[in-house]
Amino acid sequence: MIEEQNVVKVGMADLNVVKTSGIIRTTGLGSCVGLTLYDKNVQLAGMAHVMLPSSEIAREGQLNIAKYADTALPELLKRMTDMGAIRSRLVAKMAGGAQMFTFSSGGDHMRIGPRNVEACKLFLKEYNIPLLAEDTGANYGRTIEMNCITGMLSIRSVQMGKKEI
């Protein structure tokens, strides 16, 4: 375990930013995607725990923008640039988007993990942010944390142990 110093937690359908020292973490990503942005110059790391690909299907009165790929990324960008990040310096990494259960039949919601990954990539492309690395897909859960000094994203899973991207 990494020491519990200055750990900023990101819940499900939540996003947050950490600056200069510390770690930003989200636990138990299944079909959700942990999308991270990083600006090395100002040591600013942002993370969103994206649950669904598009806000178009949203029926809630007050939209939780952290929840959807198409709304989480603009919000994360805005928060980070407000804190001094420069958009052209930002790089992205992401993990998650698993298919926790596989079925021979089943509707579109069964493959929500891969769809979340596709949607995140689409929006990164739209905002012209390079995707440096990803650990997505497969059928297992992941806990991820980003170190805002190094920009390393470390990924823990039950089946595959720990790795860094």
Partner 1 sequence: MDLFKRLEGFKMDVLKEVGNIGAGNAATALSQLLDKPIDMAVPKVQILPFEQIADKVGGPEQIVLAIFFRVEGEAPGNLFFVLTPEAGKGLLHRMAGIEASDEEFFTEMEQSALAEIGNILAGSYLSSLADFTGLSMSPTVPGLSMDMAGAILNYGLLQFGQMGDDALLIDTTFLEGNEEVEGQFFLIPDPESFDKIFKSLGVPLQDD
Residue 106 within binding range of partner 1, rule CB under 8 A: yes
**Which of 32, 45, 51, 77 is the catalytic position?**
32
Which of 30/46 has CB closer to partner 1?
30
Say whether residue 101 binds partner 1 (CB under 8 A).
yes
Count of beta carbons in the 10 Å neighbourhood of residue 85: 25
Q: Of the candidates 43, 143, 147, 154, which one interacts with partner 1 according to CB under 8 A?
A: 143
Considering CB under 8 A, how many residues would be counted as binding partner 1? 37
| Closest distance of CB 141 from partner 1, Å | 2
Q: Which is nearer to partner 1, 19 or 142 (CB)?
A: 142
Instruction: Decide if residue 162 touches partner 1 (CB under 8 A).
Output: no
Is residue 148 annotated as a catalytic residue, yes or no? no
What does the chain look like in DSSP terms, one character per residue?
----SSEEE--TT-EEEEESS-EEEEEEESSSEEEEEEETTTTEEEEEEE-BS-GGG---SS--TTSBHHHHHHHHHHHHHHTT--GGG-EEEEEE---SS--SS--GGGGHHHHHHHHHHHHHHHTT--EEEEEE-TT--EEEEEETTT--EEEEETTTEEEE-
Strand partners, 34: 49, 95
**41 scored as a contact of partner 1 (CB under 8 A):** no
Euclidean distance between CA atoms 162 and 43, whole angstroms: 23
Question: Is residue 5 a contact point for partner 1 (CB under 8 A)?
Answer: no
Interaction of residue 120 with partner 1, rule CB under 8 A: no
Q: How far is the CB of 52 from partner 1 (least distance, A)?
A: 5
Q: Which stretch binds partner 1 (CB under 8 A): 28-36, 39-47, 79-87, 128-136?
A: 28-36
27 binds partner 1 (CB under 8 A): yes
